[in-house]
Structure 1
């Protein structure tokens, strides 16, 4: 079969999932003909993606979430205003997506949570069926447990998730734990999609804290913590544009730009891991038996953090107060059932993708009551 990927360009999780799925498909005799990646003025393709991916990559302008002035949490009002101003660009992108789907010769499109994919299939109706992959589709599952948070925010999150997958043949929800499928929501629950490099690692117990922050505004709080705890070594990765490959702040604190090899090297040898609650890196930490601190930057990550804490991954905080992480790590016990669950990923995903995908299995938008 020939596959075309469409990847949301926010963060690192969708990129690593796309790399892993491409390797898996190629190994099993399939072909990835093209990869379309959403871009904006604040996004750049990480170097590890360009080095690892095999299929030709093309870019298109896509919606973007803007942070607050402090560059920490997402600002909903700023994001809405920004994206409304760029509607003409997004319409052109949808036309481009349809054109690439038709001209690529793909049998199936794989959507990694890109909004414009769902809108393209809603308004322009490409004939090639598509499958959605992402942990976010678990938010549509009838048995998913949500944190106690803003009901409007949850409504918007579930609405956005549905919009990314309108008329999809399947929604494959990556999950921290096993759950039954939700046929009513067209959700199939599958294991996390981790990079093959993770499976070859032999975890070590170092003395430093490893971390990742999607918004560089949290750097101040990390520097502040280092000033009061100068004996605790820390290595944090960030997405700051034009930053040096490694910025050594003090003898015990360094900031690094995203690099797949270095990121996993530091994850493998760390004492504990602190992040802004992205699903992918939490899974990598859990697989390697590392305790985690999660500092969510938007409501999606609030849900990630709540779900990860529920299965024993770590603690949730609203700032990088690393004392809480170190305290949690004293009694941390790795979740071995999670490792077995992840190890079954390739078989589970291939069964879903090689199964007959119905070109005419299209799903309408449900009643508003279903979003709550």
Structure 2
């Protein structure tokens, strides 16, 4: 089977999921013929992906999210304005994606939450079938828990998620644990996609806390928490670190962002402080490390992740760098949660291969009113 990927280039989650699925497909004897990666003028294809992805990569412009430079809070209004201003180059991108799919003639396209995929299939209808993979599709699940209120953010999140999956044969919703499928939404619940670099690690009990700091405001909170708890050994990875190991004092060390080293530290720590991104929380859960999750401000998806993570027993959510909250939670952490998660993850190999096989079966083509039908469904939901 020949598979082409479409990958959102925002952050690292969808890109690492694509790398993980590529590993599965190579083991199964299938061929990943390439990847179309959504980029912006400020965001190119990350080196960690281009260095490890063995097939050709086609970067294509796709509107990105806009964050506040000072607080790293998501700014929905500016994100919407940016999308409107770039409508013409976005249309050119859709035609570029359609032409590339038709030229490569894959047996199936796998879309990792890239809006280019959904809109190309809605408006230009390429010849190959498409399936979509993301944790975000759990938003269409009847049992998925969401924050109270935040109606506007919720509707914007659902709209953006719908736009990524128009025309898909099937939606594969990555989940912390097994949940019933939603046939009316074409949705199947599947395990997370985790890199082999993680699953090869052997976790050990640690004596330090590990922090992953992407927000400028969190760095200030980390320093405050350190002053309040100077006896606690902490290692923190963040973009402002001046080197691989920047020693601040006897119990605090900063490290430059490095994906491989971060996983190695995670395997040896006793707990982790991170944002509520799905990928990093899954990594902590696989290694059996309790997590303090701090959703990015105004980021509805991460707010949902934090609630869902608590339900699954991964850790505790907070709106600030509250070490006392994490230290209180740690004795309550159940290691069996990690064991069950590992067993659930092990089922993924066969579930993803089965989904690809289903996608290539002959099916009735959508009618000419497909896009209008989906829009009406969106407005009703």
CA distance change for structure 1 residues 203 and 67 in 2, over 3 Å: closer, same or farther?
Answer: same
Does the CA-based 8 Å contact 2:108-2:131 persist in structure 1? yes
SS of residue in 2 equivalent to 1:277? coil
1:92 lines up with 2:92 in the alignment: yes
Q: For residue 250 of structure 1, what is the aligned residue in structure 2? A: 248
In structure 1, the residue matched to 2:2 is 2
**In the alignment, is the contact (CA less than 8 A) between 2:159 and 2:378 conserved in 1?**
no
**1:344 counterpart = 2:351:** no
Out of 291-300 and 75-84, give the one that drifted further. Answer: 75-84
Alpha-carbon distance change, 256 to 11 in structure 1, aligned in 2, over 3 angstroms: farther
1:219 correspondence with 2:219 = yes
On the 8 A contact 1:71/1:216 being kept in 2, the answer is yes
RMSD: 2.0
Equivalent position SS for 1:250:
strand
Tell me the equivalent position of 2:59: 59
Partner of 2:290: 291
Using a 3 Å threshold, how does the CA distance of structure 1 residues 68 and 174 change in structure 2: closer, same or farther? same
1:370 Cα offset (Å): 4.5
What is aligned with 1:183? 183
- 1:347 Cα shift? 1.3
Whether 1:313 and 2:323 are equivalent positions in the alignment is no
1:46 has 2:56 as partner:
no
Instruction: Note if 1:367 corresponds to 2:381.
Output: no
* Alignment correspondent of 2:274: 275
Is the partner of 2:63 in helix, strand or coil? Answer: coil
Distance of 1:65 and 1:264 partners within structure 2: 26
Q: Distance in 2 between matches of 1:138 and 1:58?
A: 28
Q: What is the SS of the residue equivalent to 1:349?
A: helix
* Structure 2 CA distance for partners of 1:11 and 1:301, relative to 1, 3 Å: same
TM-score normalized by the length of structure 2: 0.91
Instruction: Determine helix, strand or coil for the equivalent of 1:273.
Output: strand
Structure 1 residue ranges without an equivalent (≥5): none
State the alpha-carbon separation in 2 of the partners of residues 167 and 194 from structure 1.
26
2:3 touches 2:109 (CA, 8 Å); kept in 1? yes
Structure 1-normalised TM-score? 0.93
Are the aligned partners of 1:46 and 1:258 in contact in 2 as well (CA < 8 Å)?
A: no
1:169 aligns with 2:172: no
Q: Which moved more, 1:200-209 or 1:177-186?
A: 200-209
CA pair 330-37 structure 1, distance change in 2 beyond 3 A: same
Q: How many residues align?
A: 369
Shift of 1:313: 0.8
Cα distance in structure 1, aligned partners of 2:121 and 2:58: 19
User: Where do 1:20-169 residues align within 5 Å?
Assistant: 20-169=20-169
> Structure 1 stretch 353-362 or stretch 67-76: which is displaced more?
353-362
What is the deviation of 1:367?
3.1
Contact 2:170 2:359 in 1 (8 A): no
